[in-house]
Structure 1
Amino acid sequence: MTGRSGRGVFGKLFAKKQHNRDERATEIGMPTNVKQHIHVSMNSETGMLEGLPASWLRQLNAQISPAEQSENPNAAIQAVTFHNFHVLKKEQAEREPCKPIVTEEAITKEGLEMTKFLAKKNAHQSQDSDISIGQSSEEEVAPVEKYSQRQTMPIQSNKNNIKKKDPTVDLSAVIQDLTLIGSEPDESPILRKKELMYSTLTDEEIYEELKRICNKDDPYVRFQRVKHLGAGASGVVFIAIDSKDNSRVAIKDIDLTKQSKKELILNEINVLKGFNHKNLVNFLDAFLSADHLWVVMELLDGGSLTDVVTEVVMKEGQIAAVCRETLQAIAFLHSKGTIHRDIKSDNVLLGMDGTVKVTDFGFCANIVGDEKRETMVGTPFWMAPEVVTRKQYGKKVDVWSLGIMAIEMIEGQPPYMKETPLRALYLIAAVGRPKIPRWESLSPAFQDFLDKCLQVDADARATAEELLSHPFLDCAMELKTLTPLIKAAHKILHKSYD
């Protein structure tokens, strides 16, 4: 990420690299409101979509019924496009040392990337183009569970549902939603191409800057490894004891020789230094030893909220307490211009004293090391409808995800958890707000809180700041009441962070 917060830190390095800036011709990017017309037809006999890449059609026909494709063709095309684009993005992200911090600018860029992806997958080209969508053999050829009879009926239907009227489906409107495109003739913004801020830094300069911003102590001397938590393409994660104060911390050990985008690490460290909050899993320090960067984070010994919600029934007051603490973290991130975009129980960590902290941004990604529920698309079950349909969206996606996480705490899992990721995406786009089975058992204050979180229209949805003063949070129990739940879940799951 090349956010503004890193500019001052590297000013001297960049100043000497930009002296020829005015000598270069200004480059102009492509217009951003180009429409991609994809001719997709509806087979009048089978009721299924045709004209998409063959692999996409196999996915749709295995997981979304003919009746559903006919009822909501827009939702079907949006779901399969989003699914395949994010399979590709997830494969790329797994090779990176840190999860880029998300801003509205980054979201706009992603929308344009999806435009290009969709254009290259246009069915008027070869059936399967040169883009690898990273489809697993299991989902491509294995007998996927056919469209399940278990469907969650809407409390509030998506207003954009389109009924089948004609065997030919014009998806230009869908493509517009997917690419954040304006439809008026006078809306023709042209993006100016910009050089990457750190593109001219050599490896030597990057190492020098890392030496400057990292702690000078020898991490191999200062920290004693206690327990291995996990490993990935970006490095290994383990628990260690800091000899300076005997505190237990989580450390991500990154082998810089395996990182192609070392310059991004610099910016992430400097951004996270300013992201200190009582409800975030905080970055503590960074150490450099030869080619290894040790990123030190807070350790929460209670594990993830997922363990609690899947094993123990929570009281409304305990749910309110978790929602309040999570909202404080979300509101802080939003005040910094950052969108989390992956709020869920897996990314809410607990201390044994009931402390609640949000993780999985920047170097915090996968700091627990053993995320329980892997999905191909990066957990679609918590996604807001506007994310899936690619309408212009922003900070309120985190509020929707908080509402879905509240459903987790009520029901033990989010809506559509038993569905495949593609089918879950379709249901989010087609249905909108999911049904809450135990709705009638909830207090009026909790019902109103969920109403304000789960508005399909993002404009009608509350902000994190507004929800912090919602009456439901007045019933929040003390955080220490979460401790027995954590202990019970750990006993059932045979877990220990000692």
Structure 2
Amino acid sequence: MAGWAPPQLEDFILTERLGSGTYATVFKAYRKKDVREVVAIKCVSKKSLNKASVENLLTEIEILKTIRHPHIVELKDFQWNKDYIYLIMEFCAGGDLSRFIHARRILPEKVARIFLQQLACALKFLHDKNISHLDLKPQNILLSSLDKPHLKLADFGFAQHMSPRDEKHVLRGSPLYMAPEMVCNRQYDARVDLWSVGVILYEAVFGRPPFASKSFTELEEKIRSNQPIELPSRPRLSLECRDLLQRLLKRDPQQRLSFQEFFAHPFVDMEHMPGLESLGKASSLVTEAIKKDQEGDAAAALSLYSRALEYFVPALRYEVDVRRKEAIRSKRCPGISLASTLHWKWRRPLLLRRRRAKMTAKPLISTSRAWGSCCSC
């Protein structure tokens, strides 16, 4: 609209519009004082609020005030005047996951997996506090930046405090990502979030959601159908990824993966996700391996080193400092130097045994999985 300007807020300069919804518009903004901090401000017009939206807004503020997590957008403050309520949020320069996917058509499985691990980390944090998001979709998943994107779960307007046994009837969320039990007006519980995770993962690896439709009527028919969801044959995905998709996208919530099964699934593998702790875990295991080596326990040392590698590779992915990353890659870190020494100490006899096994044509138990990721560092 010509001549239209963003709302005025005393301590901030509101600039470009980042997005808008039914009763709120989000702007990029700068704090006037101190270091001119960049934030995102969600401006909620009081005139547009009805009873339900007021309750949703109060719940969103209540939840975000009490939680802090690296993969959940931070609520820094909230203010109000006679016309608006302002939620001052962490700014995410990378936009949302929907744009990220559409710009690339599909995401490689390894990229989708990293994002899924980060989303699972946020959901585990919420699940432990009996909080359900109830509106999971790519548009509500923000990225910290485009060069080194870290996922940030946002928009808790429909979120509720729900234990796994709580059941609701109210229709919430976006139809394209909404669980069948919600669309069909049946009782639902926290497992609706797991269905939404399955739809998001499907869209990430196949480039479109499973129920892409030209109209809401067509969409509703597809969701209400009893036909099992078939996964496309292309692109090729790992068995773990396909298994997770099939188990998340079960129309019957009783057959759907539970939260505990989701967090423990091999494709999610939260234990080995890239993170701040990865290098520490790896170094600790290498220290134990060296001790076992000195004690003459070769089998235990080899096992510990193999486990250490499973943390070194995520540490390399997580590290953003170029010099530290290069130190890890070139094995200048003390822990990796020790690991390398131990690796080749036991690698040489292994190669000799394999060579003898080939010569005698006798089968030898392969340990290639233990060493398969070594060159990645």
Give the TM-score of the pair, scaled to structure 2. Answer: 0.59
Per-residue CA deviation, residues 77-100 of structure 1 (Å, 9 max, x unaligned), is: xxxxxxxxxxxxxxxxxxxxxxxx
8 A contact 1:330–1:464 mirrored in 2: no
Q: Note if contact 2:59-2:157 (Cα within 8 Å) is conserved in structure 1.
A: no
Measured after TM superposition, the shift of residue 389 of structure 1 is: 2.6
For residues 111-131 of structure 1, give each alpha carbon's deviation from its aligned partner in whole angstroms, at most 9, with x where no partner exists: xxxxxxxxxxxxxxxxxxxxx
1:397 pairs with one of 189, 192, 195: 192
Q: Deviations over 1:307-364 (max 9, x none)?
A: 1222313221111111111122223333333322222212211111311011222299
**Higher relative contact order, structure no. (Cα contacts within 8 Å, ≥ 6 residues apart):** 1
Equivalent residue for 2:357?
A: none
* 1:271–1:379 Cα change, 3 Å: closer
Distance (whole Å) between structure 2 residues aligned to residue 316 and residue 240 of structure 1: 35
Following the alignment from structure 1 to structure 2, what is the Cα–Cα distance between the partners of residues 360 and 453? 22
Aligned equivalents of 2:158, 2:16: Cα separation in 1: 19
- Tell me, what secondary structure is at the counterpart of 1:286? strand
Q: Distance in 2 between matches of 1:399 and 1:454?
A: 8
Contact 1:284 1:297 in 2 (8 A): yes
Deviation at 1:466, TM superposition (A): 2.7
| Partner Cα distance (1:380, 1:363) in 2 | 14
Between the aligned partners of 2:15 and 2:235, the Cα distance in structure 1 is 47
Residue aligning to 2:9: 220
Hey, what's the Cα distance between the residues in 2 that align with 1:334 and 1:316?
Answer: 25
Q: Is the 8 A contact 1:237 1:252 kept in 2?
A: yes
Aligned to 2:246: 451
TM-aligned CA deviation for residue 258 of structure 1 = 5.3
Aligned to 2:65: 273
* Alignment-derived partner of residue 288 in structure 1: 80
Q: What corresponds to 1:247 in structure 2?
A: 37
2:215 corresponds to: 420
Cα distance in structure 1, aligned partners of 2:234 and 2:217: 26
Number of aligned residue pairs: give it: 251
* Residues in 2 aligned to 1:430 and 1:386: alpha-carbon distance in whole angstroms: 12
**What one-letter code is carried by the residue in structure 1 that aligns with 2:17?**
H
Q: Which runs of 5+ in 1 are unaligned?
A: 1-218, 365-376, 482-498
Q: Which whole-Å CA distance do the structure 1 matches of 2:79 and 2:54 have between them?
A: 16
Structure 2 Cα separation of the partners of residues 341 and 439 of structure 1: 30
Root mean square deviation of aligned Cα:
3.0
The equivalent position to 2:137 in structure 1, one of 344, 351, 359, is 344
Q: Write 1 or 2 for the structure with the bigger share of helix.
A: 2
Residue 433 of structure 1 pairs with residue 225 of structure 2 = no
Alignment of 1:60-139 (within 5 A): none
Question: Structure 1 residue 280: deviation in Å?
Answer: 1.6
Q: 2:27 aligns with which of 229, 238, 246?
A: 238
Letter in 1 for 2:225: A
SS for the counterpart of 1:239 is strand
Structure 2 gaps, min length 5 = 1-7, 160-171, 274-313, 321-377
* C-alpha deviation, 1:235, in angstroms: 4.4
Amino acid at match of 1:454: L
Partner SS for 2:229? coil
| Cα shift at 1:268 | 4.0
CA offsets, 1:47-87, max 9 Å, x none?
xxxxxxxxxxxxxxxxxxxxxxxxxxxxxxxxxxxxxxxxx
Separation in 1, partners of 2:122, 2:26:
24
- CA change 1:424–1:479 in 2 (3 A) is farther
Distance in 2, matches of 1:387 and 1:292, equals 32
Q: Is the 8 A contact 1:251 1:297 kept in 2?
A: yes
Task: Using structure 1 for the length normalisation, give the TM-score.
Answer: 0.45
- What is residue 159 of structure 1 aligned with on the other side? none
Q: Which of residues 324, 330, 333 in structure 1 aligns to 2:126?
A: 333
Of 161, 178, 193, which residue of structure 2 is paired with 1:383? 178
Change in Cα spacing, 1:241 to 1:389, as seen in structure 2 (3 Å) is: same
**Equivalents in 1 of 2:85, 2:158: separation in Å?**
11
For 1:352-367, list aligned pairs within 5 A. Answer: 352=145, 353-362=148-157
8 Å CA contact retained: 2:25, 2:43: yes
- Rate the CA distance shift 1:415–1:229 in 2: closer, same or farther, 3 A: same
User: What CA deviation, in whole Å up to 9, does each residue of 1:191-222 have, x standing for no partner?
Assistant: xxxxxxxxxxxxxxxxxxxxxxxxxxxx8342
| AA at the equivalent of 1:250 | A
8 Å CA contact 1:385, 1:432 repeated in 2 = no
Question: Identity of counterpart residues, as a percentage?
Answer: 30
SS in 2 for 1:451: helix
- Supply the AA of the counterpart residue of 1:346: Q
